[in-house]
């Protein structure tokens, strides 16, 4: 089994719904995003997937979030846009393009992240 990982980042504001604490107020993060791809078959160049393709697809999704108020985006209407939900959103969007996506991790800080993957 092979596994690849790429990283990117975006900056955005959000606030949590149904939350009692500071994070119920609008605030921002510089999120780091890690995307993992797994597979057993390599192509004729012995690549699982070209890093450039993976980064391009990831960055096209992150452009939707970058420098936005996530709560105002249609995809997050009436949803508390936690790091957990953001990681699932990125995962599902990437899965539409790259079937071998295995996990997406979204870091709010250098010490705290949430990940989404399917069993």
Residue among 2, 65, 72 nearest 33 (CA): 65
Q: What is the Cα–Cα distance from 30 to 26, expressed in whole angstroms?
A: 14
Can you give the pLDDT at residue 24?
94
pLDDT in tens, 45-97: 999 999 999 999 999 999 999 999 999 999 999 999 999 999 999 999 999 99
Q: What is the Cα–Cα distance from 96 to 98, expressed in whole angstroms?
A: 6
Q: Which residues pair with 104 in a beta bridge?
A: 35, 116
Can you give the pLDDT at residue 119?
85
CB 103 within 8 A of CB 116: yes
Question: What is the pTM for the complete model shown?
Answer: 0.95
Sign of CA dihedral 83, 88, 93, 99: positive
Which residue stretches of the chain are H helix? 51-65, 83-95
State the residue for tokens 């450039």.
Answer: 52
Other C-beta atoms closer than 10 Å to the C-beta of 71 total 18
pLDDT in tens, 94-104: 999 999 999 99
Domains of the chain: 2-116 (3.30.479.10)
Q: What is the Cα–Cα distance from 66 to 57, expressed in whole angstroms?
A: 14
């Amino acid at each position: 089994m092979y596994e690849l990982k790429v990283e990117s980042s975006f900056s955005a504001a959000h606030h949590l719904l149904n939350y009692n604490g500071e994070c119920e107020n609008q605030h921002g993060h510089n999120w780091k995003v890690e995307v993992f791809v797994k597979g057993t078959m390599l192509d004729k160049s012995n690549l699982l997937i070209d890093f450039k393709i993976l980064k391009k697809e990831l960055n096209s999704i992150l452009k939707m979030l970058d420098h936005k108020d996530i709560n105002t985006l249609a995809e997050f209407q009436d949803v508390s846009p936690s790091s957990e939900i953001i990681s699932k959103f990125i995962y599902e969007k990437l899965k539409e393009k790259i079937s071998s996506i295995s996990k997406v991790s979204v870091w709010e800080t250098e010490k705290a992240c949430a990940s989404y993957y399917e069993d």
